[in-house]
Homo-oligomer: A and B are copies of this chain.
Amino acid sequence: MKNIGDTLRALRESKGLLLREVGAELSLDPTLLSKIERNDRMPTKEQVKALSEFYEDKKNEVVIAWLSDKLVYEVQDEDLGLLAMKVAEKKIEYLKTQKS
């Protein structure tokens, strides 16, 4: 249950790769990747896609860390955040049944 930055850093280090190496692979400026790994910048959807495919064995882990971080950020310092989150879950579940 790590945040997106820590997740990406751990993955990169587990492969012994440098920022510049991953950056080159994904056409991502290494300094931008550095910021992403330190949770200074939120990666875009496209960047997450590229990163999750690069670390293919942990694809979902990356996407979930990113999405959940965005959700937390959305309700940070809101008293009703947790409650709203439970309501949002219900809404999503409802929308899912609608689609079928």
Question: Could you list which residues of chain A lie within 8 angstroms of chain B, going by C-beta atoms?
Answer: 1, 60, 63-65, 67-72, 74-75, 78, 80-96
The copy count of this chain in the complex is 2
Determine if B84 and A64 form an interchain contact, defined as CB atoms under 8 angstroms apart: yes
In-complex Cβ contact of A85 among B1, B81, B85 (8 A): B85
Contacts A63-B78, A82-B93 aside, 14 further interface pairs with beta carbons under 8 A come to: A1-B91, A60-B80, A63-B84, A64-B87, A67-B74, A67-B84, A67-B88, A69-B88, A71-B85, A72-B92, A72-B95, A74-B74, A75-B92, A89-B89
Q: Which residues of B contact A93 (CB under 8 A)?
A: 82
Query: In the complex where A1-B91, A75-B92, A91-B1 touch, is A68 in contact with B82 (Cβ < 8 A)?
Result: no
